[in-house]
């Protein structure tokens, strides 16, 4: 076997219904020169036996077993200790991807010297055939490190792992925080902040399948996790600003947009749709009240001044007219999804 060009990481906890399809997709990858790192995160549904068979039958595969469940972030971190290829790609067993995804991503990285390559992706609901674009179109082929990081803050690059290829050396001083949710967003922020060159590949090579039981669709609170992401992103901005004076004001403004749009509004919308009782939608829960208080008049004015009205307007409503906003958001959810709760993110 040739030296692998890419280490493929697949962390699994109770993924038995999806492993056969995942294996078919891995075996169909057109780039045969890969290292496959399978992590069984203390599965209880028979996934371990299936992964045993897979690792025994595929010479490219190494199976790592966790005796107790550590969570997907820690499982990925463990796999990184065993990665030997120049590049790393993370995937999930319950999603779908093009047979050419690793070849296309690695080819672009090798040709351009990029540390990170991002491809377009699509999303679909479980049980449905139709897909939709995920996030903004990638309209520029190449970005410098600060520009790529700022595009993440603005939501133009999504914080998912699976549509990105990373140079393994970036992980020399980066690991995923072991939060239950959003570890990928925090990790991507740190990796983009360290990337010397990021390439954008406008090809739909991955489809994220939204399942009812996914982490971000579950009832467990994720308030602290998202606030932890905010704090980590703030630290990355603080480290970048002195070294990149031309981006100082832009980083500050994009960070504000990130905090209001992807942290505070996300948390308060989450509180509304997850509230078990009507009263929970009239007032934020104690866990979410900190997010509401973090929205300030100064911040709202800065967002408005820079033309970010699509974020400033709902943020103002959720800060100063929460019951009215909650009613409007609930009606919007019912009209778009037919449900207030867990039918969609």
Task: Quote the pLDDT of residue 215.
Answer: 46
Q: Give the tens place of pLDDT for each residue, 192-222.
A: 999 999 999 999 999 999 876 554 544 444 7
Task: Quote the pLDDT of residue 126.
Answer: 79
Q: Say which residue, 341 or 219, is predicted with more confidence.
A: 341
DSSP state of 161: S
Query: Which has the closest alpha carbon to 64: 38, 100, 32, 25?
Result: 38
- Distance (Å, whole) CA 150 – CA 331: 33
162: Cα within 13 Å, side-chain hemisphere = 20
Is the pTM here over 0.85, yes or no? yes
Is residue 48 predicted with pLDDT exceeding 60?
Answer: yes
- Distance (Å, whole) CA 149 – CA 192: 5
Query: Which has the closest alpha carbon to 32: 61, 56, 11?
Result: 61
**Cβ(151)–Cβ(143) under 8 Å?**
yes
Mean pLDDT lowest among 160-174, 186-200, 214-228:
214-228
Top-level class of domain 6-216: alpha beta
Domain range list for the chain? 6-216, 219-337
Mean pLDDT lowest among 1-15, 104-118, 277-291, 327-341:
277-291
Query: Which has the closest alpha carbon to 232: 281, 177, 294?
Result: 177
């Amino acid at each position: 076997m040739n030296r692998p060009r890419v280490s493929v990481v697949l962390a699994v906890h109770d993924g038995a219904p999806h492993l056969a399809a995942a294996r078919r997709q891995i075996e169909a990858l057109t780039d045969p020169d890969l290292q496959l790192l399978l992590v069984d995160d203390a599965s209880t549904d028979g996934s371990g036996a299936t992964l045993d068979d897979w690792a025994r039958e595929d010479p490219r595969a190494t199976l790592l077993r966790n005796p107790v469940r550590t969570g997907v972030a820690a499982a990925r971190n463990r796999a990184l200790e065993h990665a030997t290829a120049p590049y790393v790609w993370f995937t999930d067993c319950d999603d779908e991807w093009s047979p050419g995804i690793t070849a296309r991503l690695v080819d672009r990285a090798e040709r351009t010297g990029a540390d990170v390559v991002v491809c377009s992706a699509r999303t679909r609901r479980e049980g449905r055939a139709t897909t939709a674009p995920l996030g903004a179109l990638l309209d520029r082929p190449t970005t410098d490190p600060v520009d790529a990081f700022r595009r993440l803050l603005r939501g133009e690059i999504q914080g998912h792992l699976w549509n990105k290829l990373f140079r393994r050396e970036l992980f020399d001083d980066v690991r995923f925080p072991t939060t239950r949710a959003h570890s990928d967003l925090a990790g991507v922020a740190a990796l983009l902040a360290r990337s010397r060159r990021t390439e954008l590949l406008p090809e739909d090579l991955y489809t994220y399948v939204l399942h009812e039981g996914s982490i971000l669709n579950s009832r467990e609170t994720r308030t602290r996790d998202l606030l932890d992401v905010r704090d980590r992103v703030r630290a990355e901005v603080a480290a970048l600003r002195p070294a990149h004076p031309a981006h100082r004001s832009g980083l500050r403004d994009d960070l504000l947009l990130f905090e209001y749009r992807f942290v505070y509004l996300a948390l308060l919308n989450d509180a509304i749709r997850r509230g078990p009782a009507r009263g929970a939608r009239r007032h934020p829960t104690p866990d979410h009240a900190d997010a509401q208080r973090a929205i300030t008049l100064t911040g709202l004015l800065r967002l408005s001044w820079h033309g970010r009205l699509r974020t400033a307007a709902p943020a103002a409503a959720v800060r100063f007219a929460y019951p009215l906003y909650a009613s409007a958001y609930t009606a919007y959810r019912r009209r778009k999804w037919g449900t207030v709760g867990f039918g969609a993110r």
